[in-house]
């Protein structure tokens, strides 16, 4: 999972946006049809900021063999504007990703300092700190996904989002592949299937493409996600929440 600039907003997201705050989405994680864990996506108020939080955790019986504990947090500062892409709820301020998937570990942080024209990338495990130039607000991988939910999506066309990840800024292409109807424990959803061509770790240490089913309505709820991981593939299916 997921870019640009923004108008000043009140404490509540205007109705024009595809998601409201607070929003909490709950998912079951399955591997070859067997429930192996749970995941959440959450948007919430955090003082003068907005926080977007993604988590994934393996079930207790799975953790005996292969522990998964992933947390990704994108903190947005309200305000900002970008003429060509329209408005959004805020500008990325801080991004933190901690992954534990078996023996695989990541603990990275990205700090966005637009007045100084720089982005600071911190690898906490390797004790590395690097700075990169930035000309204007860009998205991190998680906030880019929420921004995607606001964009007009047309089957057969791609959208582009300015993204900083893997120590570089690039235009993330998201392909809109087709329409499908998805049945989940939370209901049946006519959906748009999209494929972001990510170059990042995201919420899973992936080995292949990631496909996302977004409800084909004004909410653009992510109702299903499929991705290849180290051992086979994982599917996340919406089971409930507040949206």
| Residue 23, Ramachandran bin (φ over 0: left; ψ between -120 and 50: alpha; else beta) | beta
Residue 69 near residue 100 (C-beta atoms within 8 A)? yes
By three-state DSSP, how is residue 33 classified?
Answer: coil
pLDDT of residue 209: 83
For residue 22, cis peptide bond before it (omega within 30 degrees of 0): yes
The two structure tokens encoding residue 151: 């964009």
Any idea where the domains of the chain sit in the sequence? 23-242
- The three-state DSSP-derived secondary structure of 75-123 is EEECCCCCCCCCCCCCEEEEEEEEEEECCEEEEEEEEEECCCCEEEEEE
pLDDT of residue 202: 52
Residue 40 near residue 70 (C-beta atoms within 8 A)? no
This prediction has a pTM of 0.86
- CA 162 to chain centroid, in Å, comes to 14
Tell me the backbone φ, ψ of residue 39, rounded to 5 degrees. -140, 160
Separation CA 80–CA 137 (nearest Å): 8
Report which DSSP code applies to 154: -
List of residues 6+ apart from 84 with CB closer than 8 A? 4
Task: Return averaged pLDDT per consecutive 10 residues of the chain, 243 residues in all.
Answer: 25 48 96 93 94 96 93 88 56 95 94 96 98 93 93 96 92 96 98 88 59 96 88 89 92
pLDDT of residue 230: 65
Report which DSSP code applies to 59: -
């Amino acid at each position: 999972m997921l870019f640009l600039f923004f108008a000043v907003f009140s404490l509540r997201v205007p109705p024009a946006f595809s998601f409201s705050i607070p929003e909490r989405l709950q998912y079951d994680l399955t591997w070859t049809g067997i429930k192996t864990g749970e995941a959440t996506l959450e948007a919430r108020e955090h003082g003068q900021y907005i926080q977007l939080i993604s988590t994934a955790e393996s079930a207790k019986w799975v953790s005996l063999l292969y522990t998964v504990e992933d947390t990704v947090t994108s903190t947005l500062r309200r305000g900002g504007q970008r003429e060509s892409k329209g408005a959004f709820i805020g500008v990325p301020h801080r991004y933190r990703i901690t992954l534990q998937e078996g023996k695989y570990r990541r603990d990275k942080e990205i700090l966005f300092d637009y007045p100084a024209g720089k982005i600071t990338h911190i690898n906490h495990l390797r004790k590395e700190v690097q700075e990169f130039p930035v000309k204007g607000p860009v998205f991190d991988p998680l906030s880019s996904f929420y921004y995607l939910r606001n964009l007009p999506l047309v089957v057969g066309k791609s959208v582009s989002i300015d993204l900083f990840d893997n120590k570089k800024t690039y235009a993330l292409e998201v392909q809109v592949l087709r329409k499908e109807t998805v049945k989940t424990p939370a209901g049946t959803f006519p959906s748009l299937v999209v494929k972001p061509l990510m170059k990042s770790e995201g919420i899973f240490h992936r080995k292949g493409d990631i496909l996302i089913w977004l409800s084909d309505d004004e909410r653009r709820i992510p109702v299903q996600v499929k991705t290849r991981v180290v051992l086979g593939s994982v599917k996340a299916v919406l089971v409930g929440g507040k949206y």
